[in-house]
Amino acid sequence: MKKEFAVIGLGRFGGSICRTLAQEGMEVLAIDIDEERVNEFSNIVSKAVVADTTDEKVLKDLGIRNFDHVIVAIGDNIQASILTTLILKELGVQKITVKAQNDYHEKVLAKIGADHIVHPERDMGRRIANNMISTNVLDYLELSDEHSIVELIASKKMDGKSLLELDVRAKYGCTVVAIKRQTHIIVSPMAREVIREGDILIVIGADKDINRFEKNIV
Ligand code: ADP
């Protein structure tokens, strides 16, 4: 059965989520208080409605409880975002993802039981900054405040050496979980796997260990 999504708030973030879900063939109910924004999405998603989601009755009438996943993408109006999340929670919505505007907003959302809180501006800023600092880092995914998965380009220094010789885990405390080589990908490489310059190493570990590894060998 197809998953049903509801997206509340059709700004840049919520709008982008709606478009992507619709492109992937998902059932999407798009909701905004602003009629113009709703009209913009009426041809893109399954159903688009004008509603103020801080009104419990409105959400009940929309049958919001029956959706598999509700995304609250109300931007600047933090009060409306919190109240909407609280009502969704009280109505027993299974899965709620909320966009946080700042750390205080995030704290309150966590307290009232949002299942997943996203902070797109902050996270994208960190991501771009990390990519700018190092020429070897292609991409990075934050797992926690101190742990990440990073894509690093293998340097000349590593060329021809096996993972065993490089001794990544013992020396640096991080693990190479995959190697991308041209069109193919080696998942869970063996210790005897020989690295070539230009390979993309996917490394998981504590940020400080990954940094050490990157500075010393990559
Ligand atoms: P972004 O930063 O993602 O562009 P915006 O602040 O521009 O976010 O968009 C948030 C959207 O949420 C706006 O389209 C706004 O009309 C909508 N919105 C705000 N309050 C409510 C509410 N109570 N009910 C429904 N939609 C709301």
CB neighbourhood size of 209 (10 A): 20
Position 133 pLDDT exceeds 80: no
Rounded Cα gap, residues 168 and 162, in angstroms: 10
Residues 33 and 59: their CA atoms lie apart, in Å, by: 12
Q: Which comes out higher in pLDDT, residue 202 or 133?
A: 202
- Taking the alpha carbons of 110, 116, 120, 123 in that order, is the dihedral positive or negative? positive
Kindly tell me if the per-residue pLDDT of 210 is higher than 80: yes
Tell me: do 80 and 159 sit in the same domain: no
Distance 74 CA to ligand 1 centre (A): 4
pLDDT at 62: 96
> pLDDT value at position 110?
96
Q: How far is the CA of 31 from the centre of ligand 1 (A)?
A: 9
Which atom of ligand 1 is least distant from the CA of 80? 23
What distance in Å separates the CA atoms of residue 196 and residue 205, rounded to the nearest whole number?
22
**Cα 1 to averaged position of ligand 1 atoms, centre (Å):** 30
Same domain, 89 and 128: no
The protein residue whose alpha carbon is closest to atom 21 in ligand 1 is 33
Residues 11 and 39 in one domain: yes
Displacement of CA 13 from its chain's centroid (Å): 12
Q: pLDDT band at 129, cuts 50/70/90?
A: confident
- For 13-38, what is each residue's pLDDT tens digit? 999 999 999 999 999 999 999 999 99
Task: Look at residue 28 in the predicted model and tell me its pLDDT.
Answer: 97
Q: Of 118, 149, 183, which residue sits at a domain end?
A: 118
Taking the CA of residue 15 as reference, the ligand 1 atom at the shortest distance is: 3
Q: Could you tell me the distance, in angstroms and rounded to a whole number, from the CA of residue 7 to the centre of ligand 1?
A: 11
Please determine, for residue 218, whether its predicted confidence score (pLDDT) is greater than 70.
no
Q: Is 12 in the pocket of ligand 1 (CB under 6 A)?
A: yes
Same domain, 28 and 113: yes
Distance CA(136)–CA(13), nearest Å, equals: 29
Query: Is any atom of ligand 1 closer than 6 Å to the C-beta of 53?
Result: yes
Q: Are residues 43 and 76 in the same domain?
A: yes
DSSP structure class, residue 156? G
Cite the DSSP H helix spans in the chain: 12-23, 35-41, 56-61, 78-90, 103-111, 120-133, 163-166, 168-172, 207-216
CATH number of the domain encompassing residue 139: 3.30.70.1450
Q: Is the CB of 205 under 6 A from ligand 1?
A: no
Based on the domain organization, do 90 and 135 belong to the same domain?
no
Which residues form the domain of 186?
Answer: 123-216
* Both tokens assigned to 189: 């490489």
Ligand 1, from 16, 33, 40, 97: best to mutate by most atoms within 8 Å of Cβ?
A: 33
Four-residue CA torsion sign, 32, 17, 63, 82: negative
CATH of the domain at 99: 3.40.50.720
Regarding the beta carbon of 140 and ligand 1, being less than 6 Å apart is answered no
What is the CA angle 38-43-48, rounded to 5?
Answer: 35
Q: Is the CB of 61 under 6 A from ligand 1?
A: no
Strand-pairing partners, residue 97, are 71, 116
Rounded Cα distance between 124 and 110, Å, is: 21
The confidence band for 181, taking pLDDT boundaries of 50, 70 and 90, is very high
What burial class does residue 205 get, using C-beta atoms within 10 Å of its C-beta: 0-12 exposed, 13-18 middle, 19+ buried?
A: buried
> How many domains in the chain?
2
Choose the final residue of a domain: 90, 118, 146.
Answer: 118
